[in-house]
Amino acid sequence: MTKKKHVHIFGIGSGIGQGLYNRFLEDKSASLFGFSRKGKLPLSHFSNGEAGAFQFDATDQKDLRSFEHSLTSLFGHHILPTAPFYNRPDLIVYFALGDGIFGPIDLLKKKELESHFELNVHSLILLSKYYSQHLPFFTNATFVFLGSTAGKQGFPESVAYCASKHAVLGIARALREEWKPYGTKVVHVSLGAVATEIWDTRPEFDKNEMVSVSDISEYLWCISQLPKSIFVDDLSITPKKGIL
Ligand SMILES: NC(=O)c1ccc[n+]([C@@H]2O[C@H](COP(=O)([O-])OP(=O)(O)OC[C@H]3O[C@@H](n4cnc5c(N)ncnc54)[C@H](OP(=O)(O)O)[C@@H]3O)[C@@H](O)[C@H]2O)c1
């Protein structure tokens, strides 16, 4: 709990989350905590307050419970409420985990649908719930939800993905209102195509036409640098071509 800024990034195993984690490694003002199934450190070490990349499966009940308890150990009663306000770290949380599910609706399987929603929607709500009880003790807290163009408009063969990304927008909008009394910033980012593994099963889309992981990582890192009185609701980015 030494640095003034705590950064938590979910989904650092690959793609955008990994790029963002690497970008924050260059930012010496941040204590950096990353989470994904491929993390190096056991999740039990998170409660020690040492920065690092932790093993965390956002669809595993045991991991979710353990994460909730670790947050309480880190930010719970014995640390923050007794610390003077000027001594409390800023908190910035990025939700960059998720998967894609594409294909005609006739071929959609119930099990795939359930696991897609468990990861892309339920885990975001549960994680937000665990943070919520600690927000009154942060002067500056920011949550960044990585949404998609598919959260604002429809695409063929994407019914589950469009539904889950519309839900992410709904979660961000609802929490922004609910957390207003604490001054918490909630930013929703509608992402256009970014060249990550999520596109590997869709060779009809050319990764050369997409935003690069390093560029999007730089853009997302900039959100952590916003002046304190600036509240950004909704950001939209696309590659040069717009929607591919
Ligand atoms: N790429 C795009 O064009 C694009 C556009 C719009 C929105 N987005 C959204 O941005 C987010 C990241 O996408 P991406 O392109 O970076 O995809 P990606 O490369 O497939 O990354 C997905 C991330 O989620 C983590 N993850 C998957 N299942 C998990 C689980 N059960 N528990 C914890 N972490 C889990 C993965 O790490 P582990 O495998 O180590 O767990 C990985 O870090 C997604 O929500 C995606 O919908 C992407």
| Cα–Cα distance, 48 to 114 (Å, whole number) | 34
Nearest Cα neighbor of 217 from 29, 9, 6, 5 is: 9
Distance between CA atoms of 24 and 28, rounded to whole angstroms? 8
Q: What is the pLDDT of residues 155-174, one digit of tens each?
A: 999 999 999 999 999 999 99
Mutate to test the pocket of ligand 1, among 37, 67, 209 (most ligand atoms within 8 A of CB): 37
According to DSSP, the residues that pair with 186 across neighbouring strands are 143
Which pLDDT score is estimated for 91?
Answer: 96
Which protein residue has the closest C-alpha to ligand 1 atom 41? 37
Ligand 1 centroid–CA 11 distance in Å is: 6
Contact between residue 43 and residue 63 where contact means Cβ atoms under 8 Å apart: yes
Confidence band for 87, pLDDT divided at 50, 70 and 90: low
**CA of 5 relative to ligand 1 center, distance in Å:** 24
Residue 197 Cα to ligand 1 middle (Å): 9
Ligand 1: centre distance to CA 100 (Å): 8
Instruction: Give 89's pLDDT tier (boundaries 50, 70, 90).
Output: confident
Q: Is pLDDT of 85 > 90?
A: no
Q: Which atom of ligand 1 has the smallest separation from the CA of 12?
A: 43
Counting from 1 in the atom list of ligand 1, the atom nearest the Cα of 146 is 10
- N residues, the chain: 244
Q: Is residue 78's pLDDT more than 90?
A: no
Angle between helices 159-178 and 123-132 (to 10 degrees): 10
- Identify which of 145, 150, 147 has the alpha carbon closest to the alpha carbon of residue 127: 145
Enumerate domains of the chain plus CATH numbers. Answer: 5-237 (3.40.50.720)
The three-class DSSP label of residue 38 is: coil
| 199-240 residue pLDDT tens | 998 899 999 999 999 999 999 999 999 999 999 999 999 999
- Dihedral sign of CA atoms 54, 144, 27, 68 in order: negative
Ligand 1: which residues within 6 Å by Cβ? 11-18, 36-38, 56-59, 96-100, 119, 146, 148, 191, 193-194, 196-198
Q: Give the model confidence (pLDDT) of 17-32 as tens digits.
A: 999 999 999 999 999 9
Q: Residue 139 carries which DSSP code?
A: S
